[in-house]
Structure 1
Amino acid sequence: MSWTRGGLAALAVCALLGLVAGCGEGGTHERRAGVSASPVGKVLKDTDEKGRHYREIDEKDAPELGIEVQPDGDDGWDVRLTVRNFRFSPTGAKPLAVVGRGTAVLYLDGCTLARLRTTEY
């Protein structure tokens, strides 16, 4: 049985927020793993808890997220993400704002559980 309502549905919202938040705002253009990093979207006035400005991108380019949470056999939960217009950044990637790349942050009751770089947790 899949759980998608109540407190667990909040995980989806929090994970989505982690996806669409800009990670940096430098004017540098660096190359890492064949991807050109450059500032993207319109810089907004709002910031995250570390003071980094959020960015707004066009709806057609916006990442989409689906989430499924199911109980596992060890008294825990399996979380599976489905993403569109998005690729996870590899471990060690610099936190630069790049269209369609980044990490998802999994929260529970306001506490960070994990920074996801894959579709499964």
Structure 2
Amino acid sequence: MDVLWDLEEGHEVTVRQVHATLSQGRDVAYTTVMTVMDRLARKGMTIQHKDGRAYRYAARTTRAAMTADLMRGTLSDLGSGDREPALVAFVEEASAEDLAALRRALAALDAD
């Protein structure tokens, strides 16, 4: 997903292009990349378009949106008594920059 997120919005790549990018940093089999890309498409995490004999892929959503969705899903899986301690634990480990971002987001919500 990092390879897809690093692309310009709306840009699509083939498995070959993803493999070439990943191969610069580690030894990875082309078939492994092809399998993972297909699975990501089946899970709805990527957009897959047929282009001749190959498929082209793009991220369905941004990294931030996917992370937020995962966080919401995790919180919704917790019982009501576990949500507050989980949020507090998260905030206790947050950096100063993260806390500033949270304060800005809360202020924006209060302004609405």
- Fold-level similarity (TM above 0.5): no
TM-score (structure 1 length as normaliser) = 0.21
Find the structure with the greater CA-based Rg.
2
Give the TM-score, by structure 2 length.
Answer: 0.23
Which gives a bigger RCO, structure 1 or 2 (Cα 8 Å, sep 6+)?
1
Structure with the largest fraction of helix: 2
Higher strand share: 1
